Amino acid sequence: SFTKDRRIQDLLADNVDGQYEAIQIHLNNYWRGHWPTHPVQLNLHGLPEDLVVEVISDFVRQEKTPDQPIHTYADWLLASFGRTFAETFPMQYTRKYHLTTAENMSTDWLGPRIYRPTLEEVLRGALSTAAPQKHYITHFRYPTAGGFSSYLTKFISDQRLNLECEAVSIDPKSREVGFSDGRVESYDGLVSSVPLTDLVPMIVGVPKDVLEASQRLACSSCVLVNLGVARQDLSEAHMTYFYDEDICFTRLSFPHMLSPNNAPPGTGSIQAEVYFSPKYRPFDGEPEDWIDPVLEDLRRCGILREDDTILHRTSMLVPYANVIFDLDRAEAVETVHGFLDDVNIGYCGRYGDWGYMWTDESFKSGEDAASKVLDASGG
């Protein structure tokens, strides 16, 4: 976790009895055979000279251009970086990660996620490899044993959980939830972290406009390809972003670098992310279909050698990955949340709030939603 919230830091640390790795994270990028440090806008050194000149020239011209209205993410990118950089890097990455164009995205998700540099910072990064670290993630805490999910163990150990129960209907008038096994449970207060796209259709009596709004919401799904390799020195970076659209994965991470317990001694691990979207790029086929393309592209960009021994290979589909902040989102979320408020169904988390939320933000969202229900019931 890279939360800066001290309360959440202490809570997660306590959940693993203080046994975590404190990591100074290193991020880089891959673009046409080049490996610039992240973020690229501060690390142009080593990229093709003509490209660097065009990027800086555009940046200078853009700084002298009168401010224009910002309606889309594309507007923001062009105003922040100039056309050459915007079209070469973030707009390409947008198509791979968000599965749509920057012209079809809003800006209300940005926050600190993309650093807007000064001209001096751009110039220093073009002339030197000693650019300052400006990414919103600089340090990361990871459990020494048990993986990231071990942060949650103490939360669930003393709670009453009913697993393998699929909710299929919610009747807000009778305050009942129906399950796929035929059971019906009544409730005094209800909080849902179910994705809004799945939650709304199961509500009895949902108005047509609310149902249609939920169907306009977009998110990505992700095929994760996990590899074990008989070699540890796979990367200097903990995570790499890939801009080239002819490379199937969008991002790589190397879990063995987060804890010595994540892989046997002398071995390494790679997790590749290949993105899809029900709205923009529906997934078709099986997750296993992507193992060989990932291996091929890892060899093509030089992370894997031809003689590397692959010790482990698996893949899985994560149906809900990231919320896509397209131009339909804001109005659709307002409509859906307004209805849920009217029928007293609480919502929380990345897919209940339908927001770009990290672990700490999702946790606090759940706390807030639970508090509202308890306050309403006098609990």
Structure tokens at 35: 């490996």
Structure tokens at 195: 């994705």
Distance CA 250, CA 235 (A): 16
Give the predicted TM-score (pTM) of the model: 0.94
Q: What SS3 string covers 5-49?
A: CHHHHHHHHHHCCCCEEEEECCEEEEECCECCECCHHHCCCCCCH
Distance CA 26, CA 47 (A): 19
Provide, rounded to the nearest whole percent, the portion of the chain with pLDDT above 90: 86
* Average pLDDT, rounded, for the chain: 95
What would the mean pLDDT of 135-145 be, rounded to a whole number?
A: 85
Count the neighbouring beta carbons within 10 Å of the beta carbon of residue 263. 20
State the amino acid at position 49 in one-letter form.
E
Residue 167 near residue 194 (C-beta atoms within 8 A): yes
Q: Is the pLDDT of residue 292 over 80?
A: yes
Amino acid 303: pLDDT? 98
Residue 183 near residue 150 (C-beta atoms within 8 A): no
Q: Is the pLDDT of residue 133 over 70?
A: no
Cα–chain center distance at 54? 31
Q: Is the pLDDT of residue 123 over 80?
A: yes
Of 139 and 93, the structure prediction assigns the larger pLDDT to 93
Distance CA 1, CA 3 (A): 6
Which regions of the chain carry the CATH code 3.90.660.50? 221-318
> Could you report the per-residue pLDDT of 334-360, keeping only the tens digit for each?
999 999 999 999 999 999 999 999 899
Instruction: Mark 358-378 as b/e (b = at least 16 C-beta within 10 Å).
Output: ebbbbbbbbeebeebbeeeee
**CATH dotted code for 221-318:** 3.90.660.50
Environment class of 215 (CB within 10 Å of its CB; exposed 0-12, middle 13-18, buried 19+): middle
Amino acid 135: pLDDT? 64
Q: Is the pLDDT of residue 114 over 90?
A: no
Distance CA 332, CA 7 (A): 33
Please list the alpha-helical segments (H only) found in the chain: 6-15, 49-64, 73-81, 83-88, 90-97, 119-127, 153-157, 196-199, 208-216, 291-300, 329-342, 349-352, 359-377
Q: Is the pLDDT of residue 67 over 90?
A: no
Angle between the 73-81 and 90-97 helix axes, to the nearest 10 degrees?
150
Largest CA distance in the chain: 68
Amino acid 379: pLDDT? 59
- Dihedral of CA atoms 141, 144, 145, 148 in degrees, nearest 10, equals 10
> Could you report the per-residue pLDDT of 167-190, keeping only the tens digit for each?
999 999 999 999 999 999 999 999
Of 140 and 264, the structure prediction assigns the larger pLDDT to 264
Q: Distance between terminal CA atoms of the chain? A: 31
